[in-house]
Amino acid sequence: MAATADGAGGDGVTRRDFLEYAAGGMGAVGAAATAWAFIDNMNPAADVLALSTTEVDLEAIEPGQAITVVWQKKPVFVRRRTEAEIREAEDTPLDSLPDPEADADRVQKAEWLILVGVCTHLGCIPLGQKDTDEKGEYGGWFCPCHGSHYDTSGRIRKGPAPENLPVPPYQFLDDTRILIG
Amino acid sequence: MAAPRFENPIVRWIDYRLPVFTFMHHEMHEYPTPKNLNYWWNFGSLAGFMLIVMIVTGIMLAMHYTPHVDHAFDSVERIRRDVPFGWLIQFIHMNGASFFFILVYIHIFRGLYYGSYKSPREILWILGVVILLLMMATAFMGYVLPWGQMSFWGATVITNLFSAIPLVGEHIVSWLWGGFAVDNPTLNRFYSLHYLLPFIIVGVVVLHVVALHTHGSNNPLGIEARGKQDSIPFHPYYTIKDMFGLGAFLTIFCLFVFFAPDYLGHPDNYVPANPLVTPPHIVPEWYFLPFYAILRAIPDKLLGVVAMFAAIAVLFILPWLDRSPVRSARFRPIYRQVFWLLVLDCLVLGYIGSQPAEGWYIHIGRLATIYYFAHFFVILPLLSVFERPRPLPLSIGEPVLGGGSPPPRGAGGTGAMERA
Ligand code: HEM
Ligand code: FES
């Protein structure tokens, strides 16, 4: 299949066709690479990403009480659960949960429940941290925005939220201090 | 049509080089408009007027506004208290958004009633739906700028809608935010886009008008204008009618701007944003309530979001769901009734959207959501087949001027007879 003067092969494909596809393809790759710069430009910047940690002193929290701390601009719920609350969380059969997870997998010490306090539906902050707050039908938290109920393990029980309240990474520094992040 | 002769030599000199005057003459004087348009045809030009008002007041606000989480709220309060006439400009902009939506919603329902989305105006209609979407995005981002509690939590809930997308949802949300929560980067980009989008809207409005002027306005009878006796020049007849409507509209608008500037707003937005406390009852601005009701009617996160977007997207395919050849509801006895049911349904959805999601409200919201979609996907296609339209007049002039033979059987608004 010898090339003719204008480069046309036996199947009618010319050298010019090849050049057009090659140039067009390179152009598309270049455009996509440039577009990525503009898209990625909107992602969290390095200073925002710089992992922050938050230390919490647990000393002053009585059983049944909860405090809210801020970690990475998000509220974190720290709740010291009562015996009754722990039992309720542990005794709940997993098959009655929309997002099944055992209570033991969500705590390091059963007394201390630590959660990111952002509703997994559309991001409101659920009520239930203060004594006077409505805590929902399962005694944990209640999100007022569209009515999601969380139990005493922060697991979703009823309402539009699809997932349990997430547990942030944390470690106990000693018996009365934790480090979140 | 031949280029007109202009008296003024300067006009003539310019027009020879840049034919703007010929263009204006063509679009205003010669542009034939059906002579039977009623007041529902005023709302397009009113919406155009409102777009200009929003751009002018917005540019003035931007001279005083500070897009930073620590200063935004105070800068808006300063505009209202200290900046000369800042209160006026801010109230016009704030209420202007609401009235813009009132005008556009009426404009849309006008189109639904008189079948203005049917051939040959499908693209005109689709461009209108694009404008609606752009307006929604613009108003949503504008509402975030004063950085009150409703600004913040509205931004949080709406951006979180995208977290419903499987797999990439979370990444998209943090990309939208530029962080781990709604924060300063979010406010800055919303400000940038809030400034940009209105000008994009202007561009789409131009296309909308080009499409309109290609086949001219629909009219209350929904039949094509035929020849001279059916139409009149746009100027001066409709310019003066539009001016009168504008006066009436501005009277109502000014009542709100001067006497009840906060009536359409929400008191919680006068509380500075607090990222750690969600107000007990958050609601979007009234113009989003029907869609918010649809979102909440569905107990599943992803499906709720899909339904909400589908409620608007269905308008894109409306010209192909309603196959009835007759445009105007005047000649469609059943469609005329279901049209009003749809209006009622949207009002019910709006009311439900404003109430907490509990008890009976949930059930009513679900029924109203089902009806909304049934209207488009079941009722309209069925009506296209089973409804017997009333006979159409032969021409726009005929019902008034009399004469003519009885209309041919089966002659529809978009049928071949019309275009012959
Ligand atoms: C499609 C047209 C527009 C719509 C629907 C719209 C809507 C809105 C809304 C709802 C607000 C919140 C008002 C409040 O609650 O206080 C707002 C604020 C604002 N808008 Fe617009 N806007 C439009 C065009 C523009 C333009 C062209 C600019 C020019 C830059 C602009 C600049 C601003 C500024 C600086 C604010 C913050 C101050 C304030 O809250 O009043 N807007 N806009
Ligand atoms: S954000 Fe919590 S229920 Fe919707």
Q: Pick from A151, A88, A124: which is nearest to A141 by CA?
A: A151
Structure confidence at residue B357 (pLDDT):
76
pLDDT at B62 over 80: yes
Number of residues that make up chain B: 420
Structure confidence at residue B26 (pLDDT):
85
Is the minimum distance from the CB of A66 to ligand 2 under 6 angstroms?
A: no
At B340, the amino acid letter reads W
CA distance B201 to B51: 9
Name the more confident of B57 and A14.
B57
Do B278 and A75 lie within an 8 Å CB cutoff? Answer: no
Chain A residues with CB inside 8 Å of B183's CB?
48, 73
Q: Which of A8-12, B301-305, B311-315 has the highest mean pLDDT?
A: B311-315
pLDDT at B413 over 50: no
β-bridge mates for residue A113, sequence order: A79
CA distance B287 to B290: 8
Helices B169-177 + B149-160 axis angle, to 10: 150
Do A127 and B280 lie within an 8 Å CB cutoff? Answer: yes
Compute the distance from residue B308 Cα to the ligand 1 centre, in Å.
Answer: 24
Structure confidence at residue B415 (pLDDT):
40
Structure confidence at residue A6 (pLDDT):
54
Compute the distance from residue B105 Cα to the ligand 1 centre, in Å.
Answer: 19
Do B276 and A68 lie within an 8 Å CB cutoff? Answer: yes
C-alpha distances (whole Å) from B394 to each of B35, B226, B404, B413, B418 are 15, 9, 7, 10, 9
Contacts 24+ apart (CB under 8 A), B246-249: B246/B42, B246/B45, B246/B46, B246/B49, B249/B42, B249/B46, B249/B99, B249/B103
- Per 3-state DSSP, what percentage of chain B is helix, strand, and coil (rounded to 5)? 70, 0, 30
Compute the distance from residue B52 Cα to the ligand 2 centre, in Å.
Answer: 37
Phi/psi of residue A139, nearest 5 degrees: 70, 10
Q: How confident is the model at residue B229 (pLDDT cuts 50, 70, 90)?
A: confident
Structure confidence at residue B419 (pLDDT):
36
Q: Each residue's pLDDT tens digit in chain A (181 positions)?
A: 444 555 555 677 889 999 999 999 999 999 999 999 999 999 988 888 876 788 899 988 989 899 999 988 889 999 999 999 999 999 999 988 999 999 999 999 999 999 999 999 999 999 999 888 888 999 999 998 888 999 999 999 988 899 999 999 999 998 889 999 8
pLDDT at B1 over 80: no
pLDDT at B248 over 80: yes
Task: Tell me the average pLDDT across B210-231.
Answer: 90
Q: How confident is the model at residue B16 (pLDDT cuts 50, 70, 90)?
A: very high
Q: Pick from B221, B170, B143, B254: which is nearest to B389 by CA?
A: B221
Phi/psi of residue B9, nearest 5 degrees: -65, -30
Chain A residues with CB inside 8 Å of B277's CB?
125
**Structure tokens belonging to residue B72:** 């935004």
How many other CB atoms are there within 10 angstroms of residue A85's CB atom? 22
What are the domain boundaries of chain B? 37-219+236-282, 289-391
**Structure tokens belonging to residue B139:** 């108003």
Do A43 and B281 lie within an 8 Å CB cutoff? Answer: no
Q: Does the CA dihedral B40-B43-B46-B50 come out positive or negative?
A: positive
Interface with A, mutate which of B156, B283, B354, B355 (most A CBs under 10 A): B156
Structure confidence at residue B50 (pLDDT):
98
Structure confidence at residue A172 (pLDDT):
93
**Structure tokens belonging to residue A70:** 């801020």
Is the minimum distance from the CB of B201 to ligand 1 under 6 angstroms?
A: yes
pLDDT at B273 over 90: yes
Do A123 and B183 lie within an 8 Å CB cutoff? Answer: no
Using an 8 Å Cβ cutoff, are B109 and B116 in contact?
Answer: no
How many other CB atoms are there within 10 angstroms of residue A174's CB atom? 7
Name the more confident of B411 and B139.
B139
Helices (H) and strands (E) in chain A, counts: 3, 9
Nearest to A73 among B161, B175, B180 (CB): B180
At B141, the amino acid letter reads M
Do B175 and A39 lie within an 8 Å CB cutoff? Answer: yes
Nearest to A48 among B160, B179, B296 (CB): B179
Structure confidence at residue A50 (pLDDT):
77
Pocket probe for ligand 2: among A74, A143, A150, the residue whose CB has the most ligand atoms within 8 Å is A143
Is the minimum distance from the CB of B142 to ligand 1 under 6 angstroms?
A: yes
At A154, the amino acid letter reads G
Q: Which atom of ligand 1 is nearest to the CA of B201?
A: 1
CA distance B353 to B283: 8
Is the minimum distance from the CB of A160 to ligand 2 under 6 angstroms?
A: yes
- Per 3-state DSSP, what percentage of chain A is helix, strand, and coil (rounded to 5)? 25, 25, 50
Q: Pick from B305, B117, B269: which is nearest to A160 by CA?
A: B305
Name the closest ligand to CA B286. 1
Compute the distance from residue B223 Cα to the ligand 1 centre, in Å.
Answer: 40
Using an 8 Å Cβ cutoff, are B57 and B96 in contact?
Answer: yes
Token pair 């598309």: residue:
A28
Structure confidence at residue B82 (pLDDT):
95
Is the minimum distance from the CB of A156 to ligand 2 under 6 angstroms?
A: no
Using CA coordinates, name the residue in chain A closest to B278.
A125
CA distance B116 to B221: 11
CA distance B126 to B315: 8
Q: What confidence tens digit (pLDDT) does each residue in B381-394 have?
A: 999 999 999 999 98
Number of residues that make up chain A: 181
Phi-psi region of A73 (alpha: psi -120 to 50; beta: other; left: phi over 0): left
Chain A nearest-CA distance from B180, in A, is: 7
- The CATH code belonging to domain B37-219+236-282 is 1.20.810.10
Q: How confident is the model at residue B341 (pLDDT cuts 50, 70, 90)?
A: very high
- The CATH code belonging to domain B289-391 is 1.10.287
CA distance B18 to B4: 14
pLDDT at B167 over 60: yes
Structure confidence at residue B403 (pLDDT):
52
| B59 CB-near residues (< 8 Å, 6+ apart) | none
* B213 labelled catalytic: yes
pLDDT at B156 over 90: yes
C-alpha distances (whole Å) from A67 to each of A62, A149, B121, B144 are 10, 19, 60, 29
Residue nearest to atom 40 of ligand 1 (CA): B146
CA distance A159 to A156: 8
**Structure tokens belonging to residue B64:** 């005083």
CA distance A58 to A80: 9
CA distance B143 to A23: 46
Structure confidence at residue A7 (pLDDT):
54
Phi/psi of residue B205, nearest 5 degrees: -65, -40
CA distance B335 to A147: 37
Q: How confident is the model at residue B5 (pLDDT cuts 50, 70, 90)?
A: confident
Phi-psi region of B65 (alpha: psi -120 to 50; beta: other; left: phi over 0): beta
Looking at every residue in chain B, the average pLDDT score rounds to 92
Interface confidence (ipTM) of the complex = 0.79
Chain A residues with CB inside 8 Å of B177's CB?
44
**Structure tokens belonging to residue B329:** 């509801």
Chain B nearest-CA distance from A30, in A, is: 22
pLDDT at B322 over 60: yes
Compute the distance from residue B266 Cα to the ligand 2 centre, in Å.
Answer: 20
Using CA coordinates, name the residue in chain B closest to A134.
B280
